[in-house]
Structure 1
Amino acid sequence: MWKKALLAASLLLPLTCAPAEAAKVGPLIKVVEPEPMRIPSTIHLLAKTPMYKDVDTAAAPADGLLAPQHDVIVLGGQYDWARGRSWWKIQTWLGERWISPEPWNVDVPPPTKLTLLDLTPLYAARDASLPPSAELTPQEVQVVDAEKQWFYSNDPNEKKWIKIRTTWLGDQWLQLPVGQIGYIKPLDTYAYYGGEPVYSRLPANRYQMNPEDSDLRLENETVHLIGEYVTVYDHFYLTETKAGRGWVANRGAEAIRRTENVAIQSDTPIIPDLTRPNVYTVLQPQTVQSFERLADEETYHVRTPQGEGWIRTAYAEPTDAKPISLTVKLGSERGLNRFPFALFPLDRTLPAGETIRTTAYYWKGDPWEPYWYQVEPADGSGKAWLQLDPRVDRIDLPGEAPAAYAAFQQTQAYTIAAGPDATLRTQGKTVGYLKDGVPYFALEEAAPLFNFELGEADGLGRVEVRHPSGYSFVLQPGQTQAETRWNGHVEETVPLLEKPTIRDGQLILQGDDLGLLLGTSIDWFESRQYLYLFTDQYRIDTGSGTLHTDGNRAHATMLLLDRSVQPYEPNPALAPKLVVRQGSGEASTSNARTVDSGWLPPTWKLALHTASAPQMNASADSLSATVTLGARILWKRDLSAK
């Protein structure tokens, strides 16, 4: 199921740090428990309603059909249930189930009380043309009934009828805008605001709140909340400010007023204004006293000799950073940070091409968080942190001098559908077919997908397929071998699994042979209804290392920084390999040694490839190193021995 999200004709998939959960298909439904006004504890169904066991996937099958009925017990709901279709978690005779009715197919009991905000006329019946029985001043009243679907409207100013109980007139009717059918409940808490408009009068709804009409703004301030106005659609909060009482639309960040001693273990930024975290001074290790803190994180409001401000212990210089010594040539301009967090940039950058040395790395352990590396720039400006980009940066390991450096860039993938007639199609055209479950491809259709072009080789009926990099291969229908070339020079002859054939005027290659020559892989999914035809692309640089000789053998190394295949990514059958040979002699044997790369994000892996080949004579003039993907040549370098 994970690959359904990728059913595009052509994809370029750069490496990301997303966790595997990102590939889940369908909405992850989140509901809240019943609460007065916002989420009713019971609902009435006005139409037949499907129910489901599970809604965590996009295609949950219906588990049954509920008939119209009253008093369905609600276990949880979504706040927007009165505005449009939403999900409810309910209790049934089968246990917990889910339903998703339209709001016009639902009714709910009215609230038991509401707060009148203005002078409100009362009527003996639901008829506004009658003379009012009386007028009520702003107060809390008891509700006994309401018109059907009193909550449902496309306009929060539309009025609905509510029946209330009075002590002197008995039950009476009144009309209120939907957005003002609510009540005020007491609060006694504190909240921090970084820029919140305050209104002297409660608006009908937040969409009519214009910050320009506000009386003041709470800027970097903690205030006392004393009331909460609750409607079906929203919350508003009554606060005590320096200028008096007023209404705000948001709850703010809950603050706890109490004195605490806070031990600072390492350099820590103190931020006067939390809305501007890039303005700060640095506190040295010490113990400070806070007079309030934010409830959901370790953020403390303190007064120190350096001034008053906020400190977040999570944003201190990490004491658990791990040492790592790397030499890195930056492939692009890079910003520097004082601390290993995005909130603390410095006003200087390092240019592309600059070589730096790292001393430590730090990762918070969150799959969505980047890895940070500590450096000491050559300009003497002091320690700083930056992020590396393995796709463009050249990372050298201590004690290693590879002849080649290869780094994964992106995956170029095509989604190909296997039709019931055994055809293989992508981008609206047929590119091949299936025979006994084995894919075959028309070279004229498949090769251009990966930037290859076809032409004649030598007028002898052979076909040459060329890539702009300098790599090409030559083959002939009926021959079980192909010839690879680099910049026009013949490199080697490679065997094919099957003879290329001609079908409907097109040259046909078996899928594995196509992959061998183009450097592509095939990955089936959706019960073999679809396949990916794809290739991983690499940047290959010439390293500082040369060829080493050991007796009668020649050796070279390649450092490969590759993607670690995630569950939601195509899985390649091919990986880059290093080949060493002298002239047309025997090719090297090679092996790959995994290198400890805990200092890299887990979506990367690092290996050191060593190739060894017989040296036929003392001259190194004809020694070369080649990086291949299958039989495809990605890079070649002439080597000198030492």
Structure 2
Amino acid sequence: MKIGYRSLYVTAGVFVCLLISFTACLTTAAAAPSSAFYHKFEPPTLPPVITLFGNTPLYPEPDDSAGASATLTPQDVETVEAEQDWYITPQNGDLGKRWIKIKTTWLGEMWIHLDYERIGTLKPADTNIALIWSAALYSEPLKAALTDVVLSPQTVHCNAIFITPGGGSAYRIETSWLGDQWLVSPNYILLDMEILNHEMTLPTETLRMEDWDTVHRIQSPSEAHFIPPQTVFALEKTVNGEYHVRTEDGNTFWINPAYAQPVGAQEIDETIALSKNTLVHLVPTASHPIFGALTAQKVKAFQQWDAPDGTRWYRIHSWNGDLWILPDH
């Protein structure tokens, strides 16, 4: 009996040791982050040049209690260094100012005490910005400089961009009654719009979009609304090829020539045998949207279109509407 108990104790001891060892392995594995998910934080680099928008006091040391030695007028200045953690967004109780050492031509290296939001560089620009939503105007590229003016959706000209080390941007735009004003972190804009102002012919049925990106939100063919061939007035164009247009009756909306029925489609009455699952497309000239797939079967086609790459597309009447297929692909 004593031997039996001893064997039991030894077995239990071994089990406990193994359990402790296994638990330690799990703890170590959990404590060590995977390199696939762990990224070392890299603070932003202090801009080599920053733009001063107002008169800025100069100090020999990062201490404003002794008073300023001189004052700089608005200009670009070359930076040397900054206080530790200058890049951290101000928190509660933080005055939001940061000490930055700069170079001057007559006093050598001096310190300035800047609001966190004023640390950045002004870059000249010559581009048009479409305001998709209403946007507030600011007198400076600072959230604290909010005015009571709000612009309705429209396209404006931008002549400069203020870029902060954290990647934020403010856009200086031209207005006819207030002069230059700022858009600070606007909600919904399109950059680099091309102003057109000319007539545009739509040779086939074309998808009408209420917004420039409507096609990306279409969930079913019933949500796609095509307008008949016509001539419209093209107002502007995005970098991705969407056009903001106006019809003769004054309605404005968006189109993209890629989302139109193809030019040169021929009327047919053929039965097409599908040998495998076949994707169903809204139009053959764009890779999306796609509305499911047809299984191997025979379908009736009423139009065909030969694409420039030599493939032949067929338009069919489906339970989901009139859509396009590309058999055997």
TM range (shorter): 0.5 to 0.7
Question: Which residue pairs with 2:171 in the alignment?
Answer: 237
The alignment status of 1:305 with 2:248, answered yes or no, reads yes
Computed over aligned residues only, the root mean square deviation of the Cα atoms, in angstroms, reads 4.6
Query: Cα offset for 1:142?
Result: 2.7
Given candidates 71, 85, 91, the residue that maps to 1:135 is 71
Question: Which residue pairs with 1:626 in the alignment?
Answer: none
Q: Structure 1 residues 199, 324: closer, same or farther in 2, change over 3 A? A: farther
Question: Which residue pairs with 2:40 in the alignment?
Answer: 101
Q: Is the 8 A contact 1:324 1:361 kept in 2?
A: no
Higher-Rg structure is: 1
Between the aligned partners of 2:326 and 2:245, the Cα distance in structure 1 is 36
What pairs with 1:449-598 in structure 2 (closer than 5 Å)? none
Secondary structure in structure 2 of the residue aligned to 1:314: coil
What pairs with 1:219-230 in structure 2 (closer than 5 Å)? 219=153, 221-230=154-163
Q: Which has the higher helix share?
A: 2
What pairs with 1:67-78 in structure 2 (closer than 5 Å)? none
Q: Structure 1 residues 158, 389: closer, same or farther in 2, change over 3 A? A: farther
Query: Cα offset for 1:366?
Result: 7.1
Between the aligned partners of 2:44 and 2:193, the Cα distance in structure 1 is 38
Given candidates 294, 297, 300, the residue that maps to 2:238 is 294
Question: Which residue pairs with 2:139 in the alignment?
Answer: 201
The alignment status of 1:164 with 2:65, answered yes or no, reads no
Query: How many residues are paired up?
Result: 250
Question: Which residue pairs with 1:117 in the alignment?
Answer: 53
Structure 2: gaps of 5 or more residues? 1-32, 273-279, 301-323
Structure 1: gaps of 5 or more residues? 1-57, 62-84, 87-99, 327-359, 372-386, 400-597, 603-642
Question: Which residue pairs with 1:563 in the alignment?
Answer: none
Secondary structure in structure 1 of the residue aligned to 2:139: coil
Secondary structure in structure 1 of the residue aligned to 2:258: helix
Given candidates 101, 116, 134, the residue that maps to 1:178 is 116
Between the aligned partners of 1:141 and 1:317, the Cα distance in structure 2 is 56
**Residue deviations 1:580-623, cap 9 Å, x none?**
xxxxxxxxxxxxxxxxxx95999xxxxxxxxxxxxxxxxxxxxx
Secondary structure in structure 2 of the residue aligned to 1:254: coil
Given candidates 246, 266, 285, the residue that maps to 2:181 is 246
Secondary structure in structure 1 of the residue aligned to 2:182: strand
Which amino acid in 2 is paired with 1:229?
F
Q: Is the 8 A contact 2:129 2:193 kept in 1?
A: yes
Query: Cα offset for 1:193?
Result: 1.5
Secondary structure in structure 2 of the residue aligned to 1:315: coil
Which amino acid in 2 is paired with 1:315?
Y
Question: Which residue pairs with 2:129 in the alignment?
Answer: 191
**Residue deviations 1:372-410, cap 9 Å, x none?**
xxxxxxxxxxxxxxx8999xxxx99679xxxxxxxxxxx
Secondary structure in structure 2 of the residue aligned to 1:179: helix
Which amino acid in 1 is paired with 2:181?
G
Between the aligned partners of 2:209 and 2:282, the Cα distance in structure 1 is 22
Query: Cα offset for 1:129?
Result: 1.4
Secondary structure in structure 2 of the residue aligned to 1:132: coil
Between the aligned partners of 1:599 and 1:389, the Cα distance in structure 2 is 9
Between the aligned partners of 1:232 and 1:175, the Cα distance in structure 2 is 17
Q: Is the 8 A contact 1:301 1:308 kept in 2?
A: no
Query: Cα offset for 1:247?
Result: 1.4
Query: Cα offset for 1:240?
Result: 1.4
What pairs with 1:432-447 in structure 2 (closer than 5 Å)? none
Query: Cα offset for 1:111?
Result: 2.0
Question: Which residue pairs with 1:66 in the alignment?
Answer: none
**Residue deviations 1:298-356, cap 9 Å, x none?**
x2244543435343223334556998989xxxxxxxxxxxxxxxxxxxxxxxxxxxxxx
Query: Cα offset for 1:172?
Result: 1.7
Q: Structure 1 residues 139, 157: closer, same or farther in 2, change over 3 A? A: farther
Q: Is the 8 A contact 2:138 2:145 kept in 1?
A: no
Identity rate, percent = 27
Q: Structure 1 residues 192, 601: closer, same or farther in 2, change over 3 A? A: farther
Secondary structure in structure 1 of the residue aligned to 2:204: coil
Between the aligned partners of 2:289 and 2:155, the Cα distance in structure 1 is 30
Which amino acid in 2 is paired with 1:369?
P
Q: Is the 8 A contact 1:229 1:236 kept in 2?
A: yes
TM-score normalised per structure 1: 0.32
Q: Structure 1 residues 235, 398: closer, same or farther in 2, change over 3 A? A: closer
Q: Structure 1 residues 199, 107: closer, same or farther in 2, change over 3 A? A: closer
Between the aligned partners of 1:136 and 1:152, the Cα distance in structure 2 is 25
Q: Is the 8 A contact 1:272 1:280 kept in 2?
A: no
Between the aligned partners of 1:181 and 1:389, the Cα distance in structure 2 is 57
Which amino acid in 2 is paired with 1:235?
S
